[in-house]
């Protein structure tokens, strides 16, 4: 479904353009009439941004967690004092880590959205450590937040702590990654994760024109994500299912023989881990001159490691297709430089907008359903899904946004024009949040 609502559009734009407004790059945008949140101002956005920026700069996630919450509370109490509709309610936002680029963006967008709407926020990052995330969420529960927005590090490890949230009457939104085996989750917000993988697979089909390959064969290797992340199998399956007909036919071959998710997974989506595994693959199966045509990587942090491995350890003279996901800054630079072929971009600024509108409805005692989409009138596609995501306790109603393929050819249209990134004169892109 697609809707259009100028207020909501401004809400997204007010977040993505915070930096641009501060830099005076888009004169006129700052004077737009107020969004449906009604409380957004350049000053409060700038305050929120500087909080996020200073916490990003502070290094280890663990120290950032407390300093960020402390800083958030002081900024937030200002906005709460000036805002009536959020009634001093506090939203606890738990992100996995600052070491993977996208979560810094998510944390900052979510924090800005809720603050601009007049809520207090507490934002924590848990250094990709499961125990720490449990402790951080316990801290948010102890602080009596009114709503929890959680992107899990390990989807299987939060059952107990979210049971505590439920007992305390705190509703939970699973953000981006489904949280398993708990009935404390009211909703799941993400992108269509299977489609992310399908887009990567289809990109390969199109680039190699596999439908017209005849007797030609191509070599492909897969790199998947973190087995602890429920999304990772969706991405892998989406790509694998799309390529399976060509693997079955023999048009695509996998010299390493590593074709299952378990064989291809990358703990914590770690770049160095992905690089080492790929160096081993190249050393074992390609050092005899075998040509690598495709490195199908589930996301950008793994694609970065794989591209490094190709650069250092691949003997061939062709440039293999490398896929990714997220639009991380270093990967976009690799796309500009021809070291990565595509990324699947997910506009996390919009994911934050959905989270705000869903959170607002939940905090006002509503029971949101598909109608939230029309009511909100978002300027982007989103579907309400009550079939795909079963977390072991039943289906979790989900709001799913739509990912897009970004290549060198469309990066300006998809990323720069909407205000998510700026482009330097040398052609490289930099995120605005």
Q: Let me know: does 303 contact 322? Beta carbons within 8 Å.
A: yes
Minimum CB separation of residue 232 from ligand BGC in Å reads 7
Token pair of 412, please?
């300006």
Between the alpha carbon of residue 8 and those of residues 64, 282, 379, the distances in Å are 31, 48, 7
CB of 345 to ligand BGC, least distance (A): 10
Choice from 10, 98, 102, 277 touching ligand BGC (CB under 6 A): 102
299: contact with ligand BGC by CB under 6 A: yes
The DSSP code sequence of 81-127 is HT-STTTT-EEEEEES-SSSHHHHHHHHHHHHHHHHTT-EEEEEE-T
Q: What angle do CA 217, 219, 222 make, to 5 degrees?
A: 140
- How far, rounded to the nearest angstrom, does the alpha carbon of residue 253 sit from its chain's CA centroid? 30
* Binding of residue 153 to ligand BGC (CB under 6 A): no
Report the distance separating Cα 341 and Cα 320, nearest Å. Answer: 8
Window 313 to 352, contacts with ligand BGC (CB under 6 A): 325-326, 346
By beta-carbon proximity to ligand BGC, the closer residue of 127 and 326 is 326
Contact between 176 and ligand BGC by CB under 6 A: the answer reads yes
CB of 424 to ligand BGC, least distance (A): 24
Residue whose CB is less far from ligand BGC, 194 or 278: 194
Q: How far is the CB of 235 from ligand BGC (least distance, A)?
A: 8
Q: Pick from 100, 292, 310, 400 the residue near ligand BGC by CB under 6 A.
A: 100
Cβ proximity to ligand BGC, 122 vs 229, nearer residue: 229
* Region of 34-42, 223-231, 350-358, 404-412 interacting with ligand BGC (CB under 6 A): 223-231
When the beta carbons of 21 and 401 are compared against ligand BGC, the nearer one is 401
Least separation in angstroms between CB 397 and ligand BGC: 19
Q: Which of residues 256-285 bind ligand BGC (CB under 6 A)?
A: 269
- For the chain, counts of helices (H) and of strands (E): 16, 15
Q: Which is nearer to ligand BGC, 36 or 407 (CB)?
A: 407
172-175, strands of its sheet edge to edge: 120-125, 90-95, 147-150, 172-175, 185-191, 398-401, 382-385
DSSP assignments along 123-192, one per residue: EEE-TT-HHHHHHHHHHHHHTT-SEEEE--SSTTS-HHHHHHHHHTT--EEEESSPPPS-TTEEEEEEE-
* Closer by beta carbon to ligand BGC, 177 or else 277: 177
Tell me how far, at minimum, the Cβ of 322 lies from ligand BGC, in Å. 15
> Does 229 sit near ligand BGC (CB under 6 A)?
yes
Interacting residues with ligand BGC (CB under 6 A): 100, 102, 176-177, 225, 229, 231, 269, 299, 301, 325-326, 346
């Amino acid at each position: 479904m697609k809707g259009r609502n100028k207020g909501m559009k401004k809400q997204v734009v007010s977040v993505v353009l915070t930096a641009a407004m501060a830099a005076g790059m888009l004169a006129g945008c700052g004077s737009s009439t107020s969004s449906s949140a009604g409380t957004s101002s350049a000053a409060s956005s700038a305050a929120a941004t500087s909080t996020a920026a200073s916490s990003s700069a502070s290094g280890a996630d663990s120290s950032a967690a407390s300093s960020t919450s402390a800083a958030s509370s002081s900024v937030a109490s200002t906005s709460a004092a000036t805002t009536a509709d959020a009634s001093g309610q506090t939203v606890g936002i738990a992100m996995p880590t600052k070491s993977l680029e996208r979560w810094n963006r998510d944390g900052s967008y979510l924090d800005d959205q809720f603050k601009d709407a007049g809520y207090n926020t507490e934002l924590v990052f848990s250094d990709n450590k499961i125990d720490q995330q449990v402790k951080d969420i316990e801290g948010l529960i102890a602080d009596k937040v009114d709503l929890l927005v959680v992107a899990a590090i390990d989807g299987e490890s939060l059952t107990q702590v979210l049971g505590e949230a439920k007992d305390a009457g705190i509703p939970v939104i699973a953000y981006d990654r489904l949280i398993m085996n708990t009935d404390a989750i009211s909703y799941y917000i993400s992108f269509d994760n299977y489609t992310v993988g399908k887009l990567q697979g289809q990109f390969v089909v199109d680039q190699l024109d596999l439908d017209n390959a005849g007797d030609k064969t191509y070599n492909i290797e897969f790199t998947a994500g973190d087995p602890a992340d429920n999304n990772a199998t969706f991405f892998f399956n989406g790509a694998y299912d799309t390529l399976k007909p060509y693997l079955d036919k023999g048009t695509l071959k996998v010299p390493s023989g590593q074709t299952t998710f378990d064989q291809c997974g990358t703990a914590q989506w770690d770049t160095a881990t992905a690089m080492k595994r790929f160096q081993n693959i190249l050393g074992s199966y390609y050092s005899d001159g075998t040509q690598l045509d495709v490195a199908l990587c589930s996301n950008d942090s793994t694609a970065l490691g794989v591209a490094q491995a190709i650069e250092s350890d691949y003997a061939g003279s062709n440039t293999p297709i490398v896929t990714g996901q997220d639009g991380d800054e270093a990967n976009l630079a690799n796309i500009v430089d021809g070291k990565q072929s595509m990324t699947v971009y997910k506009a996390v600024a919009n994911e934050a907008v959905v989270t705000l509108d869903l959170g607002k409805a939940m905090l006002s005692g509503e029971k949101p359903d598909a109608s939230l989409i029309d009511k909100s009138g978002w300027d982007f596609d989103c579907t309400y899904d009550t079939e795909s995501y079963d977390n072991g306790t039943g289906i979790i109603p989900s709001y799913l946004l739509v990912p897009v393929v970004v290549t060198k050819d469309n990066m300006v249209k998809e990323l720069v024009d909407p205000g998510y990134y700026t482009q330097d004169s040398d052609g490289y892109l930099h995120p605005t949040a």
